[in-house]
Structure 1
Amino acid sequence: MRFLMTVLVALLPLAASAAEMPRFDVEAHCEQVASISGDSSNMLYNSCIDMEQTAYNGLKGQWSSLPINIQNHCRDVASVTGPGSYSLLESCVDMEVSAGNNRSEFSFD
């Protein structure tokens, strides 16, 4: 019993940090997007910032209520290209929540 309590106490900070909204470097992400063709585009940068802000605003109210496995998976997906993207994070969350609500079943018919 004491061992189990020790393990649970040790894991508590991990559970708490998973509930916090990730802090991505949006400016660095948008610089990558704006420079995709080699030259930097202010129009692409500004559009990217607007898109990221909209996605962040949409996620921040629901983030702490999402299952930890979705938070962790989608955080990894959203940061696979480097600095992280709230647009990718939001898309991942939407797809994971939708898939969870419509779980497929296999049939031998």
Structure 2
Amino acid sequence: MDPARAITEAAIQKKDPLCVKVLSMFTSILGSIAGNLALTVLATGGVYLGGGIPPKILPALADGGFMNAFANKGRFKDLLEKISVKVILNDRAAILGAARCVLEEELGEGG
């Protein structure tokens, strides 16, 4: 089994305290970086987490560590706490979005 998958599964199922700590650290780092980016671009419309990892670690993202790290930005905490964070569950979202962009471009040029 892939080590990352084994660690994640053991952490989600709370089978190994070290794995729980590793996943907690990962979600805190992810939250901190996402919060920095949200603040940089003033993402008041929300933040969407995509890719293969977030859907697999939903329980860890929901335990509070991610959002604490996301919003822990001093005087900007109140602003960041108002920004919604969503996880994209459709693993085909990127290709569907790209297809839509191409179709809109083609229709715009042809119509």
Pair in the same fold by TM > 0.5: no
TM-score range normalised by the length of the shorter chain: 0.3 to 0.5
| Structure with greater proportional strand content | 2
